[in-house]
Amino acid sequence: SILVKGHVLLWPGFNYLPDVYENNKANPKKIDQLISEHYKNILGETKGKISHWDVLNEVYTNKDIQTVLGSDEVLF
């Protein structure tokens, strides 16, 4: 079998996300909820099809989510 890598679960810049993220930039709990729902949806739909994922991409140039949630929450 061929292993398939998923790229990427979340771009941490508002310019790559639906407007609902930027519209809630003052509400970290809502952003966290949106991300969790997104992850559950994508991972549920691809379960058994993707062997591993790049979770975030370009975190050094796209910092909007880090700004809202804090670096400790994004960079693990």
pTM of the model: 0.89
Confidence class for position 75, pLDDT limits 50, 70, 90: low
SS3 58: coil
Task: Determine the structural domain holding residue 68 and report its residue range.
Answer: 5-74
- String of DSSP letters for 9-49: EE--SGGGS-HHHHHTTT-HHHHHHHHHHHHHHHHHHHTTT
**pLDDT tens digits, 9-63:** 999 999 999 999 999 999 999 999 999 999 999 999 999 999 999 998 888 899 9
Provide the domain count of the chain. 1
